[in-house]
Amino acid sequence: MRGYGKGQAPAFVHLHVHSAYSLLRGVCRPEDLVARAAEEGMPALALTDWGNLYAAVRFYRAAKEAGIRPLLGVQLPLLEGSGNHRGPRQDPPAIVLLAESETGYRRLLQLVSRAHDRVEEPAIPWEEAAERPEGLLLLTGGREGPVDRALAGGDPDAARRWMARFVEHFGAERVFVELQDDGSPRSALGHYRLAALAREFGAAPVATADVHYLSPGDARLAEVVRAVRLGETLGRSPERAGEVRYFASSEEMARRFAHLPEALSRTVEVSERCRVELSLGRLLLPSFDVPPGMTAEEWLRQLCERGVEERFGVPVGRWGREYRERLEKELDIIARMGFADYFLIVWDFMRFSHERGIATGPGRGSAAGSLVAYLLRITDVDPVRHGLLFERFLNPERVSMPDIDIDFEYERRWEVIDYVSRRYGRDRVAQIITFGTMAAKAAIRDAGRVMGLPPSLIDRVAKMIPNALGITLDQALAEQPALAQQYERDERVRTLIDAARGIEGLPRHTSTHAAGVVIAPSALTDYVPVQRAADGGVVTQYDMASLEAVGLLKMDFLGLRTLSIIERTRELASRRLGRPAVIDENFRDAETYALLSRGDTDGCFQLESAGVKQVLRELKPNQFEDLVAVISLYRPGPMEQIEEFIRAKHGQSPVHYPHEDLRPILEDTYGIIVYQEQIMQIASRMAGFTLGQADVLRRAVGKKKREVLLEQRDAFVSGCVARGYDETLAREVYDLIVRFADYGFNRSHAVAYAVLSWRTAYLKAHYPAEFLASLLTAAMTSTDKVAQYVEDACRRGIEVLPPSIQESEGEFIVTSDGAIRFALGAVKHVGVAAVQAILEAREKGPFRSLEDFLARVDHRACHRRTVEALIRAGAFDGFGQSRRWLLNRLDHLGGAASGVQLGLFDETALAPAEDLPDDEGEKIRDEKELMGVTFTGARVYIRLPKGSGRRELANLRDVLARHPGTWTVRLYEPDRRQVRELDGRWRVRGSPELVREVEALLGPGSIVYHLT
């Protein structure tokens, strides 16, 4: 700590500091603030972000690592009330609270949480802030505090009233009057006035700088950020008058307060009083209510034994030895590590899901390697059967919180989260905060707007930045020569990009993690601050990394649409067939492997990309292990091994094992290390590592730290030599492990996801109409995806029927004869409420006419625009009138929104004089606009075999004549390399029978439908 010796500035500590987590008020990363304090030799540093504690743990850890005492605090806005002075563009008056002790820190958590009960702007009444002030120090807030505001507003009595409140509730010894300096003579006069006020109430003055940015040169950046927050355009001055808010050095602060040195030295005294030590790294697991007289471990064992009978149909005593030993080992590790309650909590909400019919995934991540999780139905993958390792999930050699992430069907995951909230208490359960940061394009648009630059210039520069995830402005300049040229030649572009660089990456707003949920052993505000989300739910103010440091139980409740697709497919198939639609879970079905080998995997989980399809065609999988390998290898890096893997599978290249003892480990992957678990098994087999030690090795080599690599090499080689292996071989195998450490994929995760891939492929192979209908329902909001899956159905000869108000439902359905009926909900401008209103009205009988429809359907839910869309999409075609006639009729009736009582009128008098023919081109355009596909413009392409003559054409015409309809037929003649369209006499109705007859005549794949 600096003292007062010759040549040294008085010691000083910043007590009023904002980071970028003040959200568009500060611009400093917490780590940069700590680094600057360390450079200045300051013994401590406070963080007092505006109305929140978002960065508290991050700041605390950075300060501890730098050897600086972290002071945890907040600048707390006060709700407006008597005596508060606030200008039209000012924030509410705010005080600064610093935690003096752990009691004070916990009080901060509660106060900040309460302030965020108001979603629009965090603030708290003074009366609540003053409750239970133990362990807190109060600073008056400087220029933004109520005392300074009152004095600046010419109301010294109000300033005294505020000081009286502060001292009454906090005590004079814990109240400090902030003195801030903008370098003007007025500041010094104001300091004496504030110091006198402090003495009057027995409080003490303290010097602060209200830091918002690091250096004077950052003032312009701070103004840009402020303008973004307020939606203003920058003024001419780089700083607002009287607001010098950079991280001043101790020397500069000494110059500013040479007239009041005690205000400077008191900052160190205040910092010495703040002694908060956060308990990081502990595990804060909630306890599970077990039956009376039992421990959590005993109840877990009993549930597992029940699971043995449910999963395997035998009691534990008659179970296989390998399984019994595996279960005992896992239960022993779970008990020793204290995680029995954790498993019971997960079991409980999974039980709830299964009882409510909420579909859950087979597993995700390393949790699929646990037999206990399988027996509890947390996962649906037998780890013994698939060779999965428990230590990859829970390693007794490296104590850390287990991490079980669960997939739920997308639409119902909220039911599970709500159950957990009710089960453990809504004050103990919350979702997890995330921070939206300014990406490159957003930074350009924000900076340009506040700088008042022409929108055309801003738009031009923004469009030159590639649409790549996570791209930075520096990367864009390096990758886009045109942008770099503009930067060099155009001063306005250079100014814009430089300003945008300054704000790029800064947190701009809060959001909610897509899946994360945290459960605390008591009220969350005992451990973390919380706030209201925009949807009214509760989220933690600490992000994922901070929550893990605090030690709270975090789980991911992920919504997976694939589960909804699987469940809906089975439901549709069971409804049509009158029996349950069963999936082969033994992974032996030949039709599924044939589909996979064709690469016919649109809509199949993890297998939709063009690249994966090509790999499947070349690999021609015929066993489940092939599917697991494809999922693991088709990633950047491992993709290099795919070609060798395929050649080895087909016997085109020899399989090589580093040693014959490794054959059982590498045989399924043809000698190639594909999985992280294989690295662990090699270390266990050759070097005698326990699987826990082998997991430590796996993690270590993956980090590529030189000293760790050397340390692990020595341990591995010596272990191999001790077990009789040659040292040279040991070194070669270790080098192989290091080489493949980056490539190795988590096998537990791959197996679990391959199960989903298999299930979707099986359903597509055996129930294609139902599967595609379910895909179409899941993709209803994307016209491109709807068109893709409709094309897929047509290629299979599955008829897709247009929407119909008489037969369609809100989702895509399969008719009794195996056709797919287009969904009402997939027509643009037809919302959920309209669909519900139509279906409710239809329950009383089919609609007889447009008038009948308008009279029976609630016009408040199904308004004119909706009815027009349905007519233009063809949903009313069944009445036999043209769409023009129906639209004209709708105009005469005044539309559904008018609520006309049709029974009071002579309907025929209102009808158009005669039917109006439709324009086919207009119908096609309407259908494509509203549905992404066209039934009016549907085409059938038929490929003639080479050498075809009149006889083949005559036979084909006989087939076409048996299927009259409205679809145009186009013939491709390979001999002439041309396509010609048959005239209207040969239009057909698309159907599976047409496909079968044409393919019987001309060969497989000779006919394709197109509805797009």
pLDDT tens figures, 741-755: 777 889 999 999 999
The arithmetic mean of pLDDT across residues 335-364, rounded, is: 94
| Nearest in space to 790 (alpha carbons), one of 971, 937, 932, 996 | 932
How much is the pLDDT for 8?
54
How much is the pLDDT for 7?
43
Q: Is 330 or 232 the better-scoring residue by pLDDT?
A: 330
pLDDT digits (tens, 9 = 90+) for 442-464: 899 998 898 888 899 999 999 98
**Cα–Cα distance, 687 to 737 (Å, whole number):** 13
| Nearest in space to 369 (alpha carbons), one of 399, 338, 391, 350 | 391
How much is the pLDDT for 791?
84
**Cα–Cα distance, 502 to 224 (Å, whole number):** 9
pLDDT band at residue 533 using 50, 70 and 90 as cut-offs: confident
The arithmetic mean of pLDDT across residues 300-320, rounded, is: 93
- Asked if residue 371 lies in contact with residue 316, where contact means CB atoms within 8 angstroms, the answer is no
pLDDT band at residue 235 using 50, 70 and 90 as cut-offs: low
Question: How many angstroms from the chain centroid is the CA of residue 285?
Answer: 25
pLDDT band at residue 953 using 50, 70 and 90 as cut-offs: confident
- Asked if residue 112 lies in contact with residue 74, where contact means CB atoms within 8 angstroms, the answer is yes
Would the pLDDT of 936 be above 90?
no
How much is the pLDDT for 917?
86
**Cα–Cα distance, 772 to 763 (Å, whole number):** 10
The arithmetic mean of pLDDT across residues 931-938, rounded, is: 86
Would the pLDDT of 671 be above 50?
yes
**Cα–Cα distance, 256 to 276 (Å, whole number):** 30
How much is the pLDDT for 937?
78
How much is the pLDDT for 774?
96
Q: Which range scores top for mean pLDDT: 136-145, 213-222, 480-489?
A: 136-145
How much is the pLDDT for 900?
43
DSSP string, 707-751: HHHHHHHHHHHHHHHHTT--HHHHHHHHHHHHHHTTT-B-HHHHH
Q: Which strand (E) or helix (H) includes residue 449?
A: helix 440-450
How much is the pLDDT for 119?
57
pLDDT digits (tens, 9 = 90+) for 421-441: 999 999 999 999 999 888 888
Average confidence score pLDDT of the chain = 89
Would the pLDDT of 243 be above 80?
no
Q: What is the pTM of this model?
A: 0.83
| Nearest in space to 566 (alpha carbons), one of 271, 324, 832, 362 | 362
- Asked if residue 271 lies in contact with residue 69, where contact means CB atoms within 8 angstroms, the answer is yes
Would the pLDDT of 849 be above 60?
yes
- Asked if residue 101 lies in contact with residue 126, where contact means CB atoms within 8 angstroms, the answer is no
Percent of the chain with pLDDT over 90: 60
pLDDT digits (tens, 9 = 90+) for 542-574: 999 999 999 998 888 999 999 999 999 999 999
Min mean pLDDT across 225-229, 622-626, 934-938 is at: 934-938
The arithmetic mean of pLDDT across residues 702-729, rounded, is: 87
Tokens 């009794």: give the residue.
Answer: 816
Bridge-partner residues for 75, per DSSP? 50, 96
Min mean pLDDT across 631-645, 924-938, 996-1010 is at: 996-1010
Q: Centre a 10 Å sphere on the Cβ of residue 983 and count the other Cβ atoms it contains.
A: 8
Would the pLDDT of 88 be above 60?
no
pLDDT band at residue 878 using 50, 70 and 90 as cut-offs: very high
How much is the pLDDT for 908?
46
Q: Which two tokens stand for residue 1012?
A: 């797009």
Percent of the chain with pLDDT over 70: 94
The arithmetic mean of pLDDT across residues 293-310, rounded, is: 96
pLDDT digits (tens, 9 = 90+) for 467-517: 887 888 998 888 888 889 888 888 899 989 988 888 888 898 898 888 889
**Cα–Cα distance, 804 to 408 (Å, whole number):** 32
pLDDT digits (tens, 9 = 90+) for 805-817: 999 999 999 999 8
How much is the pLDDT for 241?
45
**Cα–Cα distance, 163 to 167 (Å, whole number):** 6
Min mean pLDDT across 88-97, 493-502, 757-766 is at: 88-97
Distances (CA, A) of 706 to 152, 378, 651: 61, 39, 38
Min mean pLDDT across 65-69, 84-88, 702-706 is at: 84-88
Non-local (6+) Cβ contacts of 647 within 8 A are 653
How much is the pLDDT for 707?
77
Would the pLDDT of 989 be above 50?
yes
Tokens 């250079």: give the residue.
Answer: 494
